[in-house]
Structure 1
Amino acid sequence: MEILVVVIAAILVIAVATALAPRLGIAGPLILVLIGGAVSLLPFVQVPEIDPEWILVGVLPPLLYSAAVALPAIEFRRDFGPIAGLSFLLVLLSAVVLGVFFMIVIPGIHPAIAVALGAILSPTDAVATSIVKRLGVSRRVVTMLEGESLLNDATALVLLRTMIAAGAVATTGVTGDTEVGLGFLPAFAWGVLVAVVIGGIVGYLNLRLRALIGHSAANTAVGFVVPFVAYLPTEELGGSGLVAAVVAGIVTGQGAARWFTPEQRRSDEHNWRTIELVLEGAVFLVMGLELNAIVAENFENHNGLGTGVAIAAGALAIVLAVRAAYVSLLVWAQSRRARGRRRERLESMSTRLDELAAGRAWAPPTDGRRRQNRRRQEPLPVDDPHVQRRLASMRARVSRAMSDLNYYQASPLGWKHGAIIVWAGMRGVVTLAAAQTLSRDDTTDRALLVFIAFTVAVGSLMLQGFTLPWLVRLLKIERPGDELLDRAEQSELDEELRDAALAALEQPALHRRDGSTFPEELMQLVGSRMAEPPDDETTASARDMLELRLVMIEAMRDRLNEVTSGGGYSTPALRHALAELDADQLSLELRLGDDD
């Protein structure tokens, strides 16, 4: 009963703190840490020691999964190179540099544990993304920060687990440090490979299974267990269950538009947003509750808090310095990419494909002899279905590459954007949760290490979070005009979807969802007016018009799925259009249900 009361109180505190944070101008996580710290000081409160396994297994998989489901796929693909660099290379580099620093300033710490603490401090938090969005910074910067905060969590946690295992092996004396060091890279690669394979399979099976389950409550229940289904078998095979949860979330998020019903998509969006809110808040609240014991132990074993605060300040400075150096190289490389001469090559390829399709050109020669006798070749047999598929595939790739290039040139990265990326790299919930996974068996300095992680996370949120708006104003970054672009893009996409609906009306035999055909007089009556919602005052066939509208929505959704892979529209525009179609369909189905 006491546990139930504590859980209820914690959820209420998280909800109230989240609601009050915007009004107070303070980040919600900081409010929760302060509340937890204040409660821990009450003499009648006894905070039990929390098993790190609960954080690792019960909190992090669904937390990372929920973030992966909402990942913007198109923009993520376009900037996967720099995102991967920030998520993998920068994390590894930061962890190693921090590990060297900790070995210097913390006497007697094992090298593997030092790197493990560096891995805990390396991943950035998604809280920066919400701040940057409100400041009107380029959407490309927001996407890079979102992708980084998702993927670097998995990298850091894989590295953390590997280093803790290495430290444990070296401590027991089963093998030497050299052997542990040589075994790190294969273990890391195996952990990621197994996770990607199992996460992809679980994500795909999740899509197919939930598409077959009609009961909404049962469907939601299946969705809740997906991150754990990906996590557990991956861990048993020696992989990273957290990476598997991320991969399963990405696969599920990108396939939801094609496989799930409107009700499923809307339910998932709200459910996972709620789960993410509660789990993130719980981690910060638990950290505050444990603060009193951590501080007391540091006073007892390390002569106060000065040692931990000084080490944390140095670690935060190193993290920012390493990040600044890496992002400088990244921005330079991306600026060179945007200035490349790829447009001329892509336009030439597009022209060539047009000539091939029209029969006015020959296929490219495959060897020197054919190159010399090029004029003797026959035109490409464009009537061949295989050739048509090849040409369509090549057209799609060229069109996608052209859209990507337009994206790079419309939103270039400059040194000002690089400064925002550097300063927005705050530490947060994953750093706190990962620090909780350190047990006393791993290191005798657990209280000091956890306090360092706590100080870096909270100090980063306070220092960078409060000053990030000031930095944007200081740099005078021009607003990208995304609102105007969004409206123009949305109008263009809506027009394309209306054309798809009108094209469906021209089919000779249009069927209801139950397979029956619509009355011919209704089809003549509707015409092009089906691009608009039906009029309830139409007398003869109000129900038929509702059914016809549902068929049109299905045609528009099919067209939306087709253009999604082309890269011509941004993820926000596609998701907005899908949300509108889902809302229309749910409204029409409700009205049809009322008619029954």
Structure 2
Amino acid sequence: MELLGVGVVALVAIAFTTVLSPRLGVASPLVLVALGVGASLLPFGPEISVDPQLILAGVLPPLLYAAGVSVPATDFRRDFRSIGALSVALTILTTVLMGAVFYWMFPALSWPWAFALGAIVSPTDAVATAIVKRQGVSPRLVALLEGESLFNDAAALVLLRAAVAATASAVSLWTVAVEFVVSMVLAVVIGWIVGRISLWVRSRMTDVTAATVFSFAVPFLASLPTDAVGASGLVAAVVAGLVSGNGAARRLSPQVRRSHQQNWHTAELMLEGAIYLILGLELLDTIEDVSQDDLGVLFAFGAAGLVLVAVLVTRAAFVAPLLVVQRYAARRSQQLRPRLRRALRQPGPAAGAARRAARWLRRGRPAIAHESRVEEVKQRIAQTGADHGLLLHSPLGPREGGVMVWAGMRGVVTVAAAQTLPSDTPGRSLLVLIAYLVAIGSLAIQGGTMTWMLQLLRPARAATPEELAVESAGLREVLDAAVEDERQHLRETRARSRGRRAAEEVDRADPDTVSPTDDQGFPVSSESTAADEDRDHRIALIRAEREALLDVRAIGAFSSAALAAALAQLDAEQIRLEL
């Protein structure tokens, strides 16, 4: 009963913190940590002891899966190289350099344990992304930060596992590198398979609640087998989330997608909040244990400050050359755009060419192999043109680079990873406290000043009202074309069935003909039949509009936010008609 009471209080705290923290101007994780610390000071405060493996295997997979589902696949594909550099290369670099810092601070610590600590403080947190997104910055910058926080968590934990394993036996750098690559590749393959299978299963479930319940098992269906073969279950959970999120619009009904979105957002909120509450509850006990250490609590605070500065410097040193590469890519895009327009044999911007290419693809799907191949090439050219248009209209300059550096906060994964350190780790309490302080300090300093930093740097903003109006008009053009094509298809279908309808008219004129009835045997009026036909006709048009939006989404002619809003409107209308 005591544990049940603690759970109820925790849910209430998470709910009120989520509502109040934006009004207070304080990140909700900091409020939850403070509440946890306050609860631990109470004489009747709960004594919570959580198995670290429960967090690693039971909490992180669904958290990362939920993040993967919500990431727009088109945005992820466009900046895949930059996201890969930030989430993998920067994570490795940070692990190595922070390992050297820890080895310098703790001479008695072996190199594997130092690298393990470096891996713990290397991943960034998604809290900064939420803050940046609320401030209305460029969607491309948000996508980069989201993609980085998605995969660097898994990469850091793979490195942590390899470093901890190296403490028990001598392994070479080559062995660790091979294990890292094999772990990632196996995880991607298994995650992709599980994501595809989960879409197939849920598309055949007519019960919305049952489909949602099954979705809660998907991250574990991806992570548990992957862990069993020695690969990264967290990477598998992320990939399964990306596959599920990208394919849901085509494979799942609007009711199922709406239910998944709401329930997964709730689960994500509860799991993240629980981790920060646990951090607050354990913080004072950890400080008490460290106070008995020779180095003491003040040393832990100083070490955490040094690590936090070193992490920011490392991130800045990595982001600077990344911006140089982005500027080169933008200049190359400027040179290639005229060629892409000529290749499509159509004047105008790349987005317009992409819309035309998508419309060509929707019209009939040519039966001749050669024509089909030509249309596929046109789609690829249009996609490339839209990608280059993004590089030109959403550049990454020094201002955006400053935001990327300051948004690299440490958070939930650092806290969870620190708790997974084995009990025989040398000076475990001190090292765990340092990791806790790095996460708390990062959230307090960087998160608390993020709004001020955005006002100072003034990075590229989201689309202006005028740009949104142009984009809305372009989307309306796509939807109108899809509706016209579907209506033409319905007219042709009706024309081919006129003979059958004429026979049905004769049957209805026969007095011996039985009137149509519904499932319960009651006669169906002509007005009811006409209403059903009108509803089915409108649903068919909605499905055609949705297919058109998904076609242009694959090309990347419009922003993910605009497409998501348009898809949500279509889903809401279809749900209303099907009720």
Specify every segment of 5 or more residues in structure 2 that has no aligned partner in the other structure, as ranges: 347-365, 503-526
Residue 358 of structure 2 corresponds to none
**Residue 339 of structure 2, aligned match among 324, 327, 348:** 348
CA displacement 1:514-545 (0-9 Å, x = unmatched): x999999xxxxxxxxxxxxxxxxx99933432
In the other structure, the counterpart of 1:275 is 267
Counterpart contact for 1:511–1:518, Cα < 8 Å = no
Equivalent of residue 290 in structure 2, options 298, 304, 321: 298
2:187–2:226 contact (8 Å) kept in structure 1: yes
Structure 1 residue 499 displacement after superposition: 2.1
* 2:25 maps to 1:43: no
> In the alignment, residue 215 of structure 2 is paired with which amino acid?
G
Contact 1:52 1:436 in 2 (8 A): yes
Tell me the TM-score normalized by structure 1. Answer: 0.85
Structure-2 separation of matches of 1:288 and 1:337:
45
C-alpha contact 1:511 1:517 (8 A) present in aligned 2: no
Structure 2 residue aligned with 1:97: 97
Q: Percent identity?
A: 44
SS of match in other structure, 2:548: helix
Which residue of structure 1 lines up, in the alignment, with residue 394 of structure 2?
411
Is this contact kept in 1: 2:279–2:415, CA < 8 A? yes
Structure 2 vs 1, CA of residues 554 and 506 (structure 1 numbering), >3 Å: closer, same or farther?
same
> CA distance change for structure 1 residues 478 and 552 in 2, over 3 Å: closer, same or farther?
closer
Displacement, 1:262? 0.2
Deviation at 1:462, TM superposition (A): 0.9
Partner of 1:469 in structure 2? 451
1:2 pairs with 2:2: yes
1:291-328 superposed Cα distances (whole Å, 9 cap, x missing partner): 11100001011453111111111111110001001111
Alignment-derived partner of residue 438 in structure 2 = 456
Once the two structures are superposed, the pairs formed by residues 25-424 of structure 1 within 5 Å of their partners are: 25-170=25-170, 179-340=171-332, 342-345=333-336, 347-348=338-339, 351=342, 354=345, 385-424=368-407
Change (3 A) 1:45 1:219: same
Task: Mark the runs of 5 or more structure 1 residues left unpaired by the alignment.
Answer: 171-178, 356-382, 521-537, 591-596
Select 2:481's aligned residue among 499, 502, 516: 499
Q: Which of 423, 429, 451 is the equivalent residue of 2:412?
A: 429
Q: 1:453 to 1:294 in 2, by over 3 A?
A: same
- The 3-state SS of whatever aligns with 1:301 is coil
Inter-CA distance 344–114: structure 2 relative to 1 (3 Å threshold): closer
Task: Determine the C-alpha separation between the residues in 2 that align with 1:394 and 1:344.
Answer: 20
What stretches of structure 1 move > 4 A for 4+ residues in a row? 342-346, 352-355, 508-512, 515-520
Once the 2 structures are TM-superposed, how far is the Cα of residue 353 of structure 1 from its aligned partner? 6.3
Letter in 2 for 1:408: L
Distance of 1:230 and 1:395 partners within structure 2: 36
Paired residues for 1:436-447 under 5 Å: 436-441=419-424, 443-447=425-429
Q: Which of 551, 555, 559 in structure 1 is aligned with 2:544?
A: 555
Q: Distance in 1 between matches of 2:498 and 2:129?
A: 49
How many aligned positions are there?
534
Distance 2:69 2:487 in 1: 34
**Equivalence for 1:174:** none
Query: Comparing 153-162 with 296-305, which one deviates more in the overlay?
Result: 296-305
Structure 2 CA distance for partners of 1:384 and 1:216, relative to 1, 3 Å:
closer
- Kindly provide the amino acid, as one letter, of the partner of residue 534 in structure 2: M
CA change 1:518–1:563 in 2 (3 A) is farther
TM-score (norm 2): 0.88
Instruction: Give the root-mean-square deviation of aligned CA atoms.
Output: 2.3
Give the CA deviation at 1:478.
Answer: 5.5
Q: Is the 8 A contact 1:74 1:570 kept in 2?
A: no
Give secondary structure in 1 for the equivalent of 2:49.
coil
State the Cα distance separating 1:240 from its structure 2 match.
0.4
Deviations 1:317-366 (A, max 9, x none): 110001001111011110111012x45545436535659xxxxxxxxxxx
Q: Deviations over 1:154-211 (max 9, x none)?
A: 11111111111111335xxxxxxxx343310111111111100100000000000100
Q: Relative to structure 2, which stretch is displaced further, 184-193 or 556-565?
A: 556-565
